């Protein structure tokens, strides 16, 4: 089997969710779950759209799924041959993730002979509005076949239904649907056009939820029968008349033809892989898993937009309300920074453009400055509910404090901006609003500080750190250190502006008293309390009182569960009064600020916190992997790297938080795998504006090769053992 292909013969109901994630295809504008063509909402089939949301009644707002125009199945002698209803003789599903092609082959034994169905589809990387499919039917006997294919408007929604009206129509040769959302009145247009290489009698069948073609034809038992489908999707976020544009796109694609559209799509992917594939000699499993992770990051990059970010579950569905979390800046952004900085810029422009929403949220809570949404949707709207988890026993919503107390999010945004400036050298982002973001986030933390009357030190109280199982704690080290970082960067920005006259300085002076702000930020950075390592053990207490909690094991806490779907945190969670944490917290901070700590401190905290970490989030493993690299133990890091790199390749993982479905792909883990490989094992870093390489490969890795973008240049990096070679490449 090729290193670039994953495949499976499984079609069981139990694997539907995992397979939909594993065989996902996408192009940043839309994502198509890896379900089979005959599947509907019961099998979690979905075409998820980026950046367009709706709310049904009082339910959670979530992104829209488009009507599914891939919907197809075969009927012979009045019997439908569909999985999982009709068991096959043979079945295989695969994704070629080098070319981003999804395919399947299924063989059924009928009363008269063999029926074979093959299909191939792609979400075009050359045209983000386009999905193409080739569907082939063959039999080894003569028979009458009815193909059913069209647009299924019976959509899988977690918190829907979202469309108050779906208008189905036939326009020329195309089937169309114009769906109108109930809350936002946003419209989604789908146009579907079919070309057959055979003659068949065709009629249109329209019901309340579907508009389908019935194509009837006779097989001769010798040849195959192929039809190609050209699907186009536009919304009112794209244009004023999405149905017109969708029709034009599907018609033009049909004229272009399937093979030419596929060639254009593959060509775009080839160009992406030229700059991003990673080659590893001595460990095919790691190389395959890492490149598969990179594939997922490519599938969800919003290249079609100038200001858009990536949801926590990518485009694999409506999980987590399709909202943007800290995951993007802290786990995904580095990949784009070092490979495709235009995408990184797009992600950060989203944060700049949602600054008004962050200001409004800060004001709502009585703060100044910018308090970014924990679960950010369009305009910076915070989709996070006060009751984000459902109790599995009472089935009542449980009060959580993610929206109110995850104040580190604003610092995470600033961290992303600062990394962009360092890696790209593109200071124009500051002129376009990033400077205001940095200053307003510093204003927010200044207004959140509390002062000790006796010592005069500043502290940050009543927060939730990355751990999440422990709510409303004081002096979470990650939060305090990140706030200190924001104060430093804001003060440094003002000092740079004051050293010269420029339009940006003049612009900011109209909004802010820069002299006063500089004094306040310098004071805040200096006086903000950040807990330090114990002089004897080297261990840092995660927050005030953490060491007083019950010191027990993850397995002991897991054994206290009465239902495996229970939420571990909150007021009554099994972990909340113990030292067991959800994910890397202190270790994340130490990784980000590793230059400020010696290797002994990094190792001591790794040794203390890892056995107490449930790894209940896909964000966790990569931080432990990175930290192990920081203190020079790549083989210790390796299994955590593989845990991140295989998060979607192997499937599984948490599907529920209480009674809330949280399944989907794990792009932050994918980003974390790349981060570990490139910045951890390969040791790529920025040191005062200069790219440095400090390799420490796992023992089984004999050679590593990859490309890296830095300061407007692309470099090829080759590593063998401790030796490395860097050469500059021409831009394409």
Whether 212 has a pLDDT exceeding 70, the answer reads yes
Tokens of 499: 């050293």
Whether the pTM exceeds 0.85: the reply is yes
Long-range contacts of 384-393 (CB under 8 A, 24+ apart): 384/323, 385/60, 388/657, 388/660, 389/567, 389/570, 389/657, 389/658, 389/660, 390/658, 390/659, 390/660, 391/567, 391/658, 391/659, 392/563, 392/565, 392/566, 392/567, 392/658, 392/659, 393/562, 393/563
Element (H, E) at 480: helix 477-498
Give the pLDDT of residue 1: 56
Active site residue 468: yes
The rounded distance, in Å, linking the Cα atoms of 227 and 214 is 13
Nearest by Cα to 582 from 590, 574, 571: 574
Mapped onto helix, strand or coil, the DSSP state of residue 407 is coil
Nearest by Cα to 483 from 566, 563, 411: 411
Element (H, E) at 459: strand 458-459
Residue 167 Cα distances to 56, 163, 174, 234, angstroms: 19, 10, 14, 15
In the chain, residues under CATH classification 2.70.98.40 are 2-274
For the stretch 591-613, pLDDT in tens is: 999 999 999 999 999 999 999 99
For the stretch 38-75, pLDDT in tens is: 999 999 999 999 999 999 999 999 999 999 999 999 99
Beta bridge mates, 145: 76, 217
Beta bridge mates, 73: 148
Distance of CA 707 to the CA centre of its chain: 22
**Exposed/middle/buried for residue 285 (C-beta within 10 Å: 0-12, 13-18, 19+):** middle
In the chain, residues under CATH classification 1.50.10.10 are 277-727
The rounded distance, in Å, linking the Cα atoms of 427 and 435 is 10
DSSP 67: P
Choose the catalytic residue: 468, 471, 489, 610: 468
Nearest by Cα to 648 from 405, 249, 295, 204: 295
Nearest by Cα to 313 from 635, 675, 655, 552: 655
Let me know the angle formed at the C-alpha of 356 by 351 and 359, rounded to the nearest 5 degrees. Answer: 100
Give the pLDDT of residue 389: 86
Q: What is the mean pLDDT of residues 181-204?
A: 96
What sign for the dihedral angle of Cα 458, 463, 468, 470?
positive
Mean pLDDT, rounded, of the chain: 96
- DSSP string covering 598-659: -HHHHHHHHHHHGGGB---STTHHHHHHHHHHHTT-HHHHHHHHHHHHTTTTS--S--EEBT
The reply to whether omega before 84 is within 30° of 0 (cis) is yes
Whether 656 has a pLDDT exceeding 80, the answer reads no
Confidence of residue 687 (pLDDT cuts 50, 70, 90): confident
For the stretch 365-421, pLDDT in tens is: 999 999 999 999 999 999 999 988 888 899 998 999 999 999 999 999 999 999 999
Question: Cβ distance 84 to 11 under 8 Å?
Answer: yes
The rounded distance, in Å, linking the Cα atoms of 141 and 156 is 37
- DSSP string covering 59-116: SPPEEEEEPBTT-EEEEETTEEE-TTTS--SEEEEEEETTTTEEEEEEEEE-SSSEEE
Print burial letters for 5-22: b (CB count within 10 Å at least 16), e (below 16): ebbbeebeeeebbbbbbb
Give the pLDDT of residue 354: 98
Give the pLDDT of residue 500: 83
Start-to-end CA distance of the chain, whole Å, equals 31
DSSP 341: H
Mapped onto helix, strand or coil, the DSSP state of residue 575 is coil
Whether 655 has a pLDDT exceeding 80, the answer reads no
Let me know the angle formed at the C-alpha of 472 by 371 and 580, rounded to the nearest 5 degrees. Answer: 120
For the stretch 321-348, pLDDT in tens is: 999 999 999 999 999 999 999 999 999 9
Please identify which residue in the block is written with the tokens 């990094």: 602
Confidence of residue 689 (pLDDT cuts 50, 70, 90): confident
The rounded distance, in Å, linking the Cα atoms of 582 and 593 is 21
Whether 658 has a pLDDT exceeding 70, the answer reads no
- DSSP string covering 187-219: EEEEEEEEEESS--EEEEEE-SSEEEEEEEEEE
Task: Identify the architecture of domain 2-274 in CATH.
Answer: Distorted Sandwich (2.70)
Give the pLDDT of residue 388: 84
**Exposed/middle/buried for residue 203 (C-beta within 10 Å: 0-12, 13-18, 19+):** exposed
Task: Identify the architecture of domain 277-727 in CATH.
Answer: Alpha/alpha barrel (1.50)
Beta bridge mates, 25: 32
Nearest by Cα to 668 from 683, 653, 658, 686: 653
The rounded distance, in Å, linking the Cα atoms of 580 and 583 is 9
Please identify which residue in the block is written with the tokens 């305009």: 379
Strand order of the sheet with strand 279-281? 279-281, 703-710, 713-720, 723-729
Radius of gyration of the chain (CA): 27
What proportion of the chain, given as a percentage, has pLDDT over 70? 98
Residue 386 Cα distances to 58, 81, 220, 398, angstroms: 13, 46, 63, 8
The rounded distance, in Å, linking the Cα atoms of 717 and 130 is 35
For the stretch 705-722, pLDDT in tens is: 999 999 989 999 999 998
The rounded distance, in Å, linking the Cα atoms of 181 and 159 is 13
For the stretch 507-524, pLDDT in tens is: 999 999 999 999 999 999
The rounded distance, in Å, linking the Cα atoms of 441 and 370 is 5
Give the pLDDT of residue 458: 98
Whether 526 has a pLDDT exceeding 80, the answer reads yes
The rounded distance, in Å, linking the Cα atoms of 621 and 619 is 6
Q: What are phi and psi of 661, to 5 degrees?
A: -70, 125
The rounded distance, in Å, linking the Cα atoms of 371 and 369 is 7
Beta bridge mates, 101: 96
Give the pLDDT of residue 571: 85
Question: Cβ distance 336 to 348 under 8 Å?
Answer: no
Beta bridge mates, 75: 80, 146
Give the pLDDT of residue 601: 98
Nearest by Cα to 708 from 287, 275, 418, 269: 275
The rounded distance, in Å, linking the Cα atoms of 511 and 492 is 18
The rounded distance, in Å, linking the Cα atoms of 85 and 129 is 32
Pairing, β 224-235 against β 130-139: antiparallel
Confidence of residue 731 (pLDDT cuts 50, 70, 90): low
**Which residues lie below 8 Å from residue 472, measured CB to CB, with a gap of 6+?**
401, 405, 462, 463, 464
Give the pLDDT of residue 662: 79
Element (H, E) at 318: none
The rounded distance, in Å, linking the Cα atoms of 646 and 258 is 32
Q: What is the mean pLDDT of residues 463-482?
A: 98
Nearest by Cα to 489 from 435, 545, 560, 433: 435
Question: Cβ distance 602 to 563 under 8 Å?
Answer: no
The rounded distance, in Å, linking the Cα atoms of 319 and 63 is 9
Whether 96 has a pLDDT exceeding 70, the answer reads yes
Distance of CA 504 to the CA centre of its chain: 33
For the stretch 417-441, pLDDT in tens is: 999 999 999 999 999 999 999 999 9
Nearest by Cα to 8 from 30, 28, 43, 36: 36
The rounded distance, in Å, linking the Cα atoms of 557 and 552 is 7
The rounded distance, in Å, linking the Cα atoms of 429 and 669 is 27
The rounded distance, in Å, linking the Cα atoms of 185 and 165 is 10
């Amino acid at each position: 089997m090729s290193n670039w292909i994953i495949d499976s013969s499984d079609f069981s109901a139990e694997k539907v969710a995992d397979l939909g994630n594993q065989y996902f295809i996408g192009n940043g504008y839309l994502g198509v779950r890896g379900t089979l063509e005959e599947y509907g909402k019961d099998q979690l089939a979905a075409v998820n759209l980026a950046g367009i949301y709706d709310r049904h009644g009082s339910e959670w707002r979530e992104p829209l799924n488009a009507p599914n125009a891939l919907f197809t199945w075969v009927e012979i002698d009045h019997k439908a041959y569909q999985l999982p209803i009709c068991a096959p003789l043979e079945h295989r599903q695969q994704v070629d993730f080098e070319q981003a092609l999804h395919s399947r082959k299924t063989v059924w034994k009928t009363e008269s002979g063999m029926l074979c169905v093959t299909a191939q589809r792609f979400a075009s990387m050359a045209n983000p509005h386009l999905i193409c499919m080739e569907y082939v039917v063959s039999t080894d006997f003569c028979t009458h076949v009815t193909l059913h294919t069209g647009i299924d408007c019976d959509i899988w929604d977690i918190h829907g239904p979202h469309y108050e009206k779906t208008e189905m129509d036939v326009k020329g040769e195309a089937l169309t649907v114009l769906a109108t959302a109930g809350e936002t009145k946003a419209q989604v247009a789908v146009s579907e056009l079919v070309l057959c290489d055979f003659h068949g009698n065709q009629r249109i069948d329209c019901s309340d939820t579907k508009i389908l073609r019935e194509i009837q034809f006779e097989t001769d038992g010798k040849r195959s029968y192929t039809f190609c489908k050209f699907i186009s999707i536009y919304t009112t976020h794209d244009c004023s008349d999405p149905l017109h544009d969708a029709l034009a796109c599907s018609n033009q694609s049909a004229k272009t033809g399937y093979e030419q559209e596929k060639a254009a799509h593959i060509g775009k992917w080839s160009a992406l892989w030229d700059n991003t594939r990673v080659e590893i000699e001595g460990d095919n499993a790691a190389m395959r898993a890492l490149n598969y992770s990179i594939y997922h990051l490519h599938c969800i990059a919003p290249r079609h937009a100038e200001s858009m970010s990536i949801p926590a579950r990518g485009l694999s569905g409506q999980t987590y309300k399709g909202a943007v979390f800290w995951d993007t800046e802290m786990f995904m952004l580095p990949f784009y920074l070092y490979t495709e900085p235009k995408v990184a810029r797009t992600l950060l422009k989203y944060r700049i453009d949602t600054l008004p929403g962050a200001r409004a949220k800060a004001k709502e809570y009585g703060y100044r400055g910018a308090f970014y949404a924990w679960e950010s949707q369009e305009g910076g709207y915070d989709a996070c509910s006060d009751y984000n988890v459902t109790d599995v026993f009472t089935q009542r919503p449980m009060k959580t404090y993610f929206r109110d107390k995850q104040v580190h999010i604003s610092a995470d945004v600033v961290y992303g901006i600062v990394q962009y400036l360092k890696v790209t050298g593109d200071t124009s982002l500051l002129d376009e609003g990033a400077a205001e973001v940095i200053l307003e986030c510093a204003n927010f933390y200044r207004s959140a500080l509390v002062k000790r009357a006796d010592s005069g030190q500043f502290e940050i109280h009543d927060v939730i750190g990355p751990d999440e199982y422990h709510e409303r704690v004081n002096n979470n080290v990650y939060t305090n250190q990140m706030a200190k970082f924001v104060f430093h960067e804001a003060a440094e920005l003002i000092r740079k502006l004051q050293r010269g006259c420029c339009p940006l300085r003049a612009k900011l002076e109209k909004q802010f008293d820069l002299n006063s702000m500089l004094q306040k930020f310098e004071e805040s950075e200096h006086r903000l309390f950040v807990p330090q390592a114990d002089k004897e053990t080297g261990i840092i207490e995660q927050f005030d009182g953490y060491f007083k909690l019950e010191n027990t094991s993850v397995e002991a806490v897991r054994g206290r569960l009465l239902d495996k779907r229970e939420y571990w945190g909150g007021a009554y969670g099994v972990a909340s009064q113990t030292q067991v944490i959800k994910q890397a917290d202190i270790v994340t901070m130490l990784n980000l600020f590793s230059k400020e700590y010696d290797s002994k401190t990094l190792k001591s905290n790794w040794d203390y916190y890892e056995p107490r970490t449930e790894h209940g989030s896909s964000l966790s493993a990569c931080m432990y992997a990175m930290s192990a690299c920081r203190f020079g133990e790549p083989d210790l890091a390796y299994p955590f790297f593989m845990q991140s790199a295989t998060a979607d390749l192997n499937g599984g993982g948490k599907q529920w938080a209480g009674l809330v479905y949280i399944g989907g792909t794990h792009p932050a883990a994918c980003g974390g795998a790349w981060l570990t490989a490139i910045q951890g094992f390969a040791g790529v870093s920025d040191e005062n504006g200069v790219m440095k390489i400090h390799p420490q490969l796992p023992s089984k890795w004999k050679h590593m090769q990859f490309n890296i973008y830095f300061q407007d240049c692309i470099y090829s990096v080759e590593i063998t053992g401790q030796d490395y070679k860097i050469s500059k490449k021409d831009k394409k």
